[in-house]
Chain A
Amino acid sequence: MAWTREDMATLAGRDLQDGQYVNLGIGIPTLVANHLPEGVRVTLQSENGLLGIGPFPFEGEEDADLINAGKQTVTAQPGSSFFDSATSFAMIRGGHVQTAILGALQVSGHGDLANWQIPGKLVKGMGGAMDLVAGTPHVIVLTEHVSKDGTPKIVTHCDLPLTGQRCVDKIITDLAVFDVTEDGLVLRAHCADTNIDDLRAVTGAPFAVDLDPEFVGP
C-alpha cells in the first residue's frame, strides 16, 4: 500500500517546528493542520488575510466573512489577526511565514515547481503560490508520485509553466520522501511496498539515495 493522503500530511507535519508560522495550500496540504506531531503547535496563515486559522465552525455558525484561501468557512483562533492582502503578502514575500506546503502539477529534480496552468487545457491561475515559493524560507511539496495517467510528476525539467525556480526544499509523495539539494534529489525514505528500483521507474528525475535510518513510517 502506498501512503494515504493522511500519511503524507503526517510526514509533512514532522517537518514543522513548534511555534512556526505556516501557510498550507489547498488539498492534501490542508490536512497537515490535523496531523501535527504531539507538542507541536503552529500558527496557520491564510493569504486572504488571517493569521491564526482555527477549526471549521460548528454547523450553523459559519460566517461568509470568515474564510480561508480555499474559500472554506473557518474560525479564527484566540490571538489571531485580520489584515489586507498587501500586508498578508508582506508576511509571505518578506519571509516572515516560515514554511509553505503546497501541491504540484510537476516538480523538477532541482526544485522548480509548476502548479498553476496547463496551456490550452487548464486555466486557474497561480493565486498566491508564486509569492509563497519566492518568499518562504522552507517550501514542501505534497503530491501524488505520478499523475492519473501514470506519468511521473517528478521530472528533470518541468515543461509546464513554472510557479517558481529552484524553490522547493522537500518533496513528499504517496511513495517517497526526497530532499532537494544543490546536486539534485536525495531519497530519504519510501513506503514499505516499494523499492529503489521501482521508484526509479516512476520518477522522471535521477536521485541519490541516503535513507534516513531514524525514519519510521506514518
Chain B
Amino acid sequence: MTKLRLSATELVAAHVFDGATVAVGGFGLSGNPTDLIHALRDSGAKDLTIVSNNMGVDGKGLGLLIENKQVTKVVSSYVGENKLFAEEFLSGALEVEFAPQGTLAERMRAGGAGIAGFFTKTGVGTPVAEGKQMQVFDGEEFVLERGIVADLSLVKAHRGDAEGNLVYRHTARNFNPLVATCGRVTIAEVEVYEGETYIDPDIVVTPGIFVQHVVLATPRVKDIEQRTVRPRPEGKA
C-alpha cells in the first residue's frame, strides 16, 4: 500500500470544502507546496480560512487564492510582500488575524499535539493580547493562545516515501512539519518520491502517521524573492 496519489487537483478537490480552514507550509516563497496551492485555486472552494506564515506575493503562492477571491480570513504573521492583499485588507474585504510568528508555529504544534492552548509572554501588552485570557506565572504576565486544527493541511517536503514519511531541505522546512501535524487531512507534495525504498528511519522528520496522501511535485525552477550574491574572488572559478 502506498500513500502516493497521482492527481493533486483531484485530491485537493476531494478534501476541501467551502468554509474550510486550510493550513499551508512555507516561509515567503520558500518551501511552498506550489502544486497543491494551484489545486486549491482550481478547486474553486470559497470562504476559506488560510493559516500560513505569509500570503505569497502578487501572482505567486497563496497570493493566487486572494486574486481568485476564495479567501475570507487569513491567519499570518507577515503579509508585507503582497499589494493586492494589503488593498483587500485595508478595504475590509479580507479579515486578517495577525499572529506572532513563534506563536503561530506553536499554535500549529499544539493543535497537532492535542493541546487546546498554551500561555506565552509573546504579545503581552500589545494588540495581539487584547481580549485574551491573561495569567501571571512567577511574577510575569502571559497570554493564552489557542491551538490550531485545520480541516486540510498542505505541506511541501523534499522527499517522501510510501508510508508518508517526510524529510525537508535546508530552510524550506520552516512551518511544514508543524502544518503536517495540525491537519485533519494532510497532503504532502514531495520533490523526490522514495516509494518502498523508504527514508532512513533515523532521519525522518515528519513520521508518516501525520500524512494521509503524498503527491509528486511538478518539476519547476523555484522562486527566489531576494536574490543576493557576492562576487567570486579574483582568480577562483
Contacts and interface: CB of A to CB of B under 8 A. Distances in A.
A123 B80 contact: yes
Interface in B127-158: 127-128, 158
A125 interface: yes
B81 to A, nearest CB: 8
B98 interface: yes
B126 A88 contact: no
Given A48-B171, A126-B101, A70 B226 contact: yes
A50 B102 CA distance: 14
B231 interface: yes
Interface stretch (A36-44, A56-64, A141-149, A199-207): A56-64
Interface string A60-78: 1111111111111110100
B114 interface: no
Contacts of B218: none
A135 B142 CA distance: 12
Contact of B225 (A71, A83, A162): A71
Contact of B80 (A63, A92, A124): A124
B177 A84 contact: yes
Nearest to A161: B127
B171 A93 contact: no
* Central interface residue in A69, A85, A123, A127, by most chain B CB within 10 Å: A85
Interface residues of A, number: 56
B224 A127 contact: no
Given A48-B174, A65-B171, A165-B125, A126 B100 contact: yes
Contact of B178 (A46, A58, A84, A161): A84
Contacts of B171: 46, 48-50, 65-68, 82
* Central interface residue in B29, B86, B227, by most chain A CB within 10 Å: B227
A86 interface: yes
B105 A84 contact: yes
A134 interface: yes
B175 A125 contact: no
Interface residues of B, number: 60
B106 interface: yes
Nearest to A61: B229
B228 interface: yes
Interface stretch (B10-18, B62-70, B71-79, B196-204): B71-79
B130 to A, nearest CB: 10
B223 A161 contact: no
Given A58-B232, A134-B121, A82 B178 contact: no
Nearest to B230: A56
A146 B106 CA distance: 36
A213 interface: no
Contact of B105 (A69, A86, A112): A86
B185 interface: no
Contact of A59 (B125, B174, B231): B231
Contacts of A163: 126
Given A66-B170, A88-B105, 20 more contacts: A48-B30, A59-B230, A59-B232, A64-B30, A64-B223, A64-B224, A65-B169, A65-B171, A66-B171, A67-B224, A73-B227, A73-B228, A82-B173, A85-B174, A93-B120, A124-B78, A126-B77, A134-B122, A135-B121, A135-B122
Closest 10 CB pairs of A and B: A89-B102, A165-B125, A124-B80, A64-B222, A131-B102, A85-B105, A130-B100, A125-B78, A71-B225, A128-B101
Interface of B: 27-31, 53, 76-81, 85-86, 89-90, 96, 98, 100-106, 108-109, 120-128, 158, 168-178, 205, 222-232
